[in-house]
């Protein structure tokens, strides 16, 4: 078995799994919303309270890892954008005894792709496959084959937490700004002529659960679920008409996502539209799985 901790902009995630021949069999999956990236877009530094929340969550999740299981920990957008990232890495080393790896946006895109295709292999999806991962601080798109051949992709500075802080009132120019931020990455991936679009991460999984009107979130009901561009647009419209409190009452939506889910949906809707896909395939294997596969 191996374990990996992902320190993201909005949440901290743990995956303990058995890994064999490029396949990942989850044993333990947990997530805690800590909003580490709060204010990073403006201040370019991690807030002390946000670091404390995240360190507490990491301590809790680390206690769930069986003794002796090799563990790695990596951080993404919020930490790599922060001027005090080395201080945060030092605190993690002191408190958890593990060295934090701060991965680049391009590496995050590759790992998300590898994690997704590890679960898609053998399904016969039309290729090449483009994998999109919408996070709190950034969005990754990567295109390749189900055999794990990497064609190309990128990371873009547009994420759900970042947009919430820039556009707290869903102003009229939100969509055009998202389009401008996504355009280079979309163009770069379209040159590989992807035939299937796969979405991973919290935004895609949450939307899949909401569209299905699940009584509670379920990986088994989300993995492999396909929803259309029109269903996504309808869901985005409905979420936009709900108050924050009404979004909190959505049974399948994880607490802590009610304020950012509308922004994640806006990013995904614009991306799918710009790439010209009529539907989205949902996958619950992502960057955590990719990190375990590469060792």
**Could you report the per-residue pLDDT of 77-105, keeping only the tens digit for each?**
999 999 999 999 999 999 999 999 999 99
SS3 12: strand
DSSP-assigned letter for residue 170? -
Distances (CA, A) of 189 to 109, 160, 197, 220: 12, 21, 11, 29
Token pair listed for 13:
């995630």
The two domains 2-102 and 112-290 share their CATH topology (first three levels equal): yes
State the pLDDT confidence band at 44, using cuts at 50, 70 and 90.
very high
State the pLDDT confidence band at 171, using cuts at 50, 70 and 90.
confident
The pLDDT value recorded for residue 121 is 82
Of the candidates 42, 46, 34, 40, which has an alpha carbon nearest to the alpha carbon of residue 7?
Answer: 34
Q: Where are the domains of the chain?
A: 2-102, 112-290
Kindly report the backbone phi and psi dihedral angles of residue 283, in degrees, each rounded to the nearest multiple of 5, phi listed first. Answer: -130, 135
- Class of the domain covering 2-102: alpha beta
Mean pLDDT of 15-43: 96
- Whole-angstrom distance, CA of residue 200 vs CA of residue 77: 16
Token pair listed for 42:
């403006």
**DSSP E strand stretches across 95-230:** 100-102, 129-134, 139-144, 150-156, 196-200, 226-228
State the pLDDT confidence band at 49, using cuts at 50, 70 and 90.
very high
**Could you report the per-residue pLDDT of 247-271, keeping only the tens digit for each?**
999 999 999 999 999 999 999 999 9
CATH architecture label of 112-290: 2-Layer Sandwich (3.30)
Mean pLDDT of 34-62: 98
- Whole-angstrom distance, CA of residue 287 vs CA of residue 114: 8
Average pLDDT of the chain to the nearest whole number: 97
- Whole-angstrom distance, CA of residue 7 vs CA of residue 17: 18
- Whole-angstrom distance, CA of residue 69 vs CA of residue 120: 27
SS3 177: helix
């Amino acid at each position: 078995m191996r374990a990996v901790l992902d320190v993201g902009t909005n949440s901290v995630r743990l995956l303990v799994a058995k890994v064999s021949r490029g396949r990942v069999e989850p044993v333990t999956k947990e997530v805690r919303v800590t909003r580490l990236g709060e204010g990073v877009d403006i201040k370019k530094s991690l807030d002390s309270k946000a670091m404390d929340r995240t360190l507490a969550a990491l301590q809790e999740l680390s206690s769930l890892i069986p003794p002796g299981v090799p563990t790695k920990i990596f951080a993404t957008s919020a930490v790599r954008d922060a001027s005090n990232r080395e201080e945060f890495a030092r605190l993690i080393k002191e408190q958890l005894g593990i060295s934090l790896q701060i991965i680049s946006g391009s590496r995050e895109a590759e790992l998300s792709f590898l994690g997704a295709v590890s679960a898609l292999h053998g399904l016969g999806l039309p290729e090449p496959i483009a994998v999109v991962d919408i996070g709190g601080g950034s969005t990754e798109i990567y295109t390749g084959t189900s055999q794990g051949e990497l064609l190309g992709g990128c990371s873009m500075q547009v994420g759900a937490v970042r947009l919430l802080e820039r556009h707290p009132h869903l102003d009229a120019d939100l969509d055009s700004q998202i389009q401008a931020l996504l355009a280079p990455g979309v163009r770069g991936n379209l040159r590989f002529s992807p035939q299937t679009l796969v979405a991973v991460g919290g935004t895609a999984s949450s939307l899949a659960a909401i569209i299905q009107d699940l009584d509670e979130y379920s990986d088994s009901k989300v993995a492999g679920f396909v929803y259309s561009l029109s269903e996504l647009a309808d869901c985005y419209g409905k979420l936009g008409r709900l108050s924050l409190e009404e979004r909190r009452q959505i049974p399948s939506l994880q607490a802590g996502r009610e304020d950012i889910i509308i922004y994640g949906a806006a990013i995904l809707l614009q991306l799918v539209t710009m790439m010209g896909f009529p539907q989205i395939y949902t996958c619950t294997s992502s960057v955590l799985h990719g990190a375990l596969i590469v060792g």
